[in-house]
Amino acid sequence: MQAFLAQRTWKQAELADKLGLKVPALRKRLVELSASGMPLAREEDHPHVYWSVPQTWFPGGVLVPAEDVEPLLRLLGRLPRGKDRDRLLHLAIRSLQGKGNGTSAAEQAGIVPPAAPADEKLLSTLEDAVKRRRALHFRYYSAHRGALTQRFASVHRVLVGPPARFLATCHQAGDLKWFRLDNVQSAAIDQHEPFRPADEAKVERLVRGTLDGYYDSDAPSERHSFVVREPEARWVAKNLLDGMTHEATKGGVRVTIETTALVRLARYVVGLGAAAHAETESLRRAVTELASGALGSNVRAPERAEHAPS
C-alpha cells in the first residue's frame, strides 16, 4: 500500500524487486488485495504487466489535493465552533506543516467563526436519521400547546439556521412539519418505528416556501413583491432574507419572493416604514393590518401609562 501511495502505477517486475519478492508471490498478494476491495487495475503490454490504483485512492480516508487544502481551511474557519469542526481544522492545519509558518488561512484572514450550534449532538442525530432513513423519537416542547410531547418523525431536511430546524413527516399528524432544534429536549434514532418517505417535490416546495424559519402549512405558496426607494434600497439589496431576489427599478429596487409565510414577510416590509410599499394585494393587506395594529397600540400606550398605579 505504501508503494502505491508513493507511485500510482508499477511494472509488476519492478514492484517485486522493490518489495524483495518473487513475481509469483507478488502477483498472488495483489490478487488477494484486489479481491478484498483494493481498487487495483491490471494491464498487459507485452512483455510487461502493469498494476495501478486511481489517483484519488487513499486507504482509510479521502485524499485532498494540496491546492484544495487552503480553500478547505477557509471554509472550515467560517463554520460554527464545535468538536468536529475544530478536529477537522486541526487535521487540515497539520497537513500544511512545513509549508510557511503553519498558520491556517482562516487565522491569516482574521476570521472569527460564529458560536457553536445549540447542540451539536442533536444536529448529528438528525443528520444520521436523514442519511440512514430511520425514524426519529424525540421529546419536543410545543409552544402552541405549552407542553412537552413525545413524538416520532421521519426527517427529510436539516437546516442549521439560525435558527436550526428540521423538516419531517410527523407520525402523529401524518403530514410534513417544521420543528425547531431549540425546542427538542432529547432525540434518538428508533430502530422499530418505520421510516415514512415523503414526496421529494413537496419537500422542495416546503423548503422554498419557508421564510426566515416561518412556514404556514394552511396557506398556499404565493409569489409576492414590494418596492423599496433609495437610499434604503441599497441596504435592503444587501440584507435580503433567504429566498428573496431583487432587481433595479427607477429610484429603488423591487424585491420578489415565493413563500407561505405572509405574516413574516409583512413584518419585514413594515420594518422598512415609508420606504417600502407592497405591490401584491395580499401582502398589502397584511402590511396594513400589522402597521395599523402597531400604530393603535402605541398611540394608546401613553394613556395606559398615565392611569397605571404608582
Judging by DSSP bridges, how do beta strands 41-45 and 48-52 pair with one another? antiparallel
In this prediction, residue 246 carries a pLDDT of 93
Whether residues 124 and 189 fall in one domain:
yes
Whether residues 274 and 230 fall in one domain:
yes
Whether residues 124 and 192 fall in one domain:
yes
In this prediction, residue 98 carries a pLDDT of 47
Domain membership of residue 286 (yes or no) is yes
- When divided into structural domains, the chain yields a total of 4
Q: At what angle do helices 12-19 and 23-35 cross, to 10 degrees?
A: 100
Whether residues 37 and 74 fall in one domain:
no
Domain membership of residue 194 (yes or no) is yes
Domain membership of residue 40 (yes or no) is yes
> Contact at 8 Å (CB) between 23 and 48?
no
In this prediction, residue 111 carries a pLDDT of 58
Question: Could you list the pLDDT tens digit for every one of the 310 residues in the chain?
Answer: 888 877 889 999 999 999 899 999 999 999 988 888 888 899 988 888 999 988 777 776 666 777 777 777 777 777 777 777 777 877 777 666 545 444 555 555 555 666 555 577 888 888 899 989 999 999 998 776 777 889 999 999 988 766 788 889 999 888 888 888 888 899 999 999 999 999 888 888 788 777 777 777 677 788 999 999 999 999 999 988 878 899 999 999 999 998 888 999 999 999 999 999 999 999 999 999 998 888 887 776 555 545 544 4
Domain membership of residue 91 (yes or no) is yes
In this prediction, residue 102 carries a pLDDT of 46
Full DSSP string of the chain: -HHHHH-SEEEHHHHHHHHT--HHHHHHHHHHHHHTT---EEEEETTEEEEE--TT--TTS----HHHHHHHHHHHHHSPP-HHHHHHHHHHHHHTTTSTT---HHHHTT--PPPPPS-HHHHHHHHHHHHHT-EEEEEEEETTTTEEEEEEEEEEEEE--SSPEEEEEETTT-SEEEEEGGGEEEEEEESSSPP----HHHHHHHHHH-BTTB--TTS--EEEEEEEETTHHHHHHHSPPTT-EEEEETTEEEEEEEES-HHHHHHHHHTTGGGEEE-SHHHHHHHHHHHHHHHHHHHHHHHHHHTS--
Domain membership of residue 308 (yes or no) is no
Measured CA to CA in angstroms, residue 63 lies from 14, 40, 283 at distances of: 25, 17, 51
Whether residues 165 and 190 fall in one domain:
yes
Rounded-to-integer distance, Cα 128 and Cα 195, Å: 13
Domain membership of residue 155 (yes or no) is yes
What CATH number does the domain containing 268 carry?
3.30.70
Whether residues 184 and 146 fall in one domain:
yes
Domain membership of residue 217 (yes or no) is no
What CATH number does the domain containing 10 carry?
1.10.10
In this prediction, residue 156 carries a pLDDT of 93
Whether residues 184 and 232 fall in one domain:
no
> Contact at 8 Å (CB) between 166 and 181?
yes
State which residues form the domain around 33: 2-52
Q: Looking at 15, 30, 52, which one is the last position of a domain? A: 52
In this prediction, residue 161 carries a pLDDT of 66
Domain membership of residue 303 (yes or no) is no
In this prediction, residue 215 carries a pLDDT of 72
Whether residues 286 and 226 fall in one domain:
yes
pTM of the predicted protein model: 0.54
